[in-house]
Structure 1
Amino acid sequence: MKLYINHKSPVPLHVQAEELLRKIITDPQYANGKLLPNEVDLAKQLAISRTTLRQALNKLVYEGLLIRKKGIGTKVAGAQVSSKSNNWLSFSQEMNARGIPIRNFELHISWVNPDEQIANFFEISASKKILKLERLRGRAEGPFVYFVSYFHPRVGLTGDEDFKRPLYEILETDHSVIANLSKEEISAKAADKFIAGKLEVDLNTPILFRKRFVYDQGDRPIEFNLGYYKADSFVYTIESRRE
């Protein structure tokens, strides 16, 4: 692949470098895990500064398209999927926006009594039945995330909804409930027998575990969500801005 940047173009160099990198990572040799040319050589070949090149590289690393390891180099992230914590699209909407086709491997709906933690979050009695939604999702080649959602009775879900539709679209369109605030806890844990079976990994394999607490426009709790992600197939990015 010929690597070239047009220094006479009105398009900024870092933007051209970013577009070039996006073409490079589609090359089969890099898509299969070969390290990208090192920064010094690539910057020299393109006749741009390492700072300009690094600006483009950082953009793709942030998007989860590249992985950079100190002392080793930069390579294509491969099958990893990334998600931004400040993205208020539903999971299926976000993956669709990224051009990642998602397959639903399992979908289960049940009515259960909440445990103490969930009952306290919803501020309801543990004897009050709530809707539980379980979904195993991933790419065509296999699942990479298992979601468990519990919903406050106030939301009005009946269980007859088409949960193949985006969740927050269902809440807003069908039940006039707008998810407005999300608080999240992210940690690493070992996969127990149940989760290992769902995600098709070995027992005690490290996984990414996320709790999400979702509130409506009146700061009332509407969803308690648990997500179990295969660590080698998913990147969770967090963006913060200093005010």
Structure 2
Amino acid sequence: MRLKIDHQSAVPLHIQAENLLRELIKQPEYQAGKLLPNEVELAKRLAISRTTLRQAINKLVYEELLVRKKRLGTKVANAKMSSKSMNWLSFSQEMQARGIVIKNYELHISWVFPDETVAGFFDIKTDQKILKLERLRGNTQEPFVYFISYFHPRVGLTGDEDFKMPLYEMLEQEHFVIATLSKEEISARLADKLIAQKLEVDVDSAILLRKRFVFDQADRPIEYNLGYYKAESFIYTVESRRSS
């Protein structure tokens, strides 16, 4: 795409730059995650000052069309993923329903001793090992959620299951455990060093923490799940209906 500013036009330079950027970011390569040219290069190509260019970029950042990455550059913002509180599904099923291809960036299985919080939820002792599942997931461009799941020993997981399947489908098909009830807590957090590294954000960046407590048909706990979401990529919506 040819980038050119009309310096004889009555339209202000920053408006022209903004309009050019709006067209530029529609290009397939930038939609796919390519970084925009750096400000020095772009301002030089347009024969405008960096201040004028930055004014245009700031407008698109404000509109959440662009996102700045420290020490990396500026790129098109990903469309925010959303999740509703009603009719909950596994993460894979949620994203599949929205036509989003999910990629597993990391998948780790281990046997650990639960801390008091997890043991208390499962009503087991802290000296009994349970299966811990860690998954770093996202779209084909970047990760945006880090999951940590703990499972009650009663579920019967061995660690050899196919955890690339939708989780609750796998539990039902392979272990006859049907996830029926989910209780959730949503809170804001600042990313510590580990979470920042996983989600590719700066330390102390805002993230969304979703705790999910999952029960079977007999209201027995089966999963304790922590989900750390990149704030710029995720929206959680709550749907409520007033009873008559």
Runs (5+) with no aligned partner, structure 2: 1-21, 27-61, 67-76
Shift of residue 87, structure 1, vs aligned partner = 3.0
Task: Tell me the TM-score normalized by structure 1.
Answer: 0.69
- Write the deviation string for residues 111-167 of structure 1: whole angstroms up to 9, x where unpaired: 000000000000001001000000000011110000000000000111000100000
Letter in 1 for 2:118: I
Q: 1:88 deviation in Å? A: 2.7
Over 3 Å counting, the alpha-carbon distance change for 1:74 and 1:196 in structure 2 is: closer
Counterparts of 2:144 and 2:229, CA distance in 1: 6
Query: 1:239 maps to what in 2?
Result: 239
Q: Deviations over 1:163-222 (max 9, x none)?
A: 000000011111111111111110001000000000000000000001111111111000
Q: What CA distance in whole angstroms lies between the structure 2 residues aligned with 1:195 and 1:94? A: 22
Percentage of matched positions with identical amino acids: 70
Match of 1:218 in 2: 218
Mapping 1:161-176, distance limit 5 Å? 161-176=161-176
Q: Which runs of 4+ in 1 moved over 6 A?
A: 72-77
The two structures have a TM-score, normalised by structure 2, of 0.68
Residue 102 and residue 153 in structure 1: after superposition, are their counterparts in 2 closer, same or farther (change >3 A)?
Answer: same
Q: Hey, what's the Cα distance between the residues in 2 that align with 1:163 and 1:96?
A: 16
Q: Distance in 1 between matches of 2:157 and 2:64?
A: 46
* Residue identity matched to 1:223: E
Q: State the shift of 1:78 in Å.
A: 4.7
In the other structure, the counterpart of 2:142 is: 142
What is the CA RMSD across the aligned residues, in angstroms?
A: 2.1
CA displacement, residues 97-119 of structure 1 (integer Å, 9 cap, x when unaligned): 11011110000000000000000
Secondary structure in structure 2 of the residue aligned to 1:211: strand
| C-alpha distance in structure 2 between counterparts of 1:78 and 1:122, whole Å | 37
Q: Using the alignment, how far apart are the partners of 1:232 and 1:130 within structure 2?
A: 33
Say which SS state the counterpart of residue 232 (structure 1) adopts: helix
Provide closer, same or farther for how the CA distance between residues 201 and 219 of structure 1 changes in structure 2, counting only shifts above 3 A.
Answer: same
Greater Cα radius of gyration, structure 1 or 2 = 2
Counterpart of 2:190 in structure 1 is 190
- Opposite residue 226 of structure 1, the aligned amino acid is L
Aligned counterpart, 2:3: none
Matched with 2:82 is 82
Deviates more, 1:219-228 or 1:90-99: 90-99
Mind listing any 5+ residue stretches in structure 1 that lack a counterpart? 1-27, 33-71
SS of 2:210 mapped into structure 1 = strand
Query: Aligned to 2:127, what secondary structure does the other structure show?
Result: coil
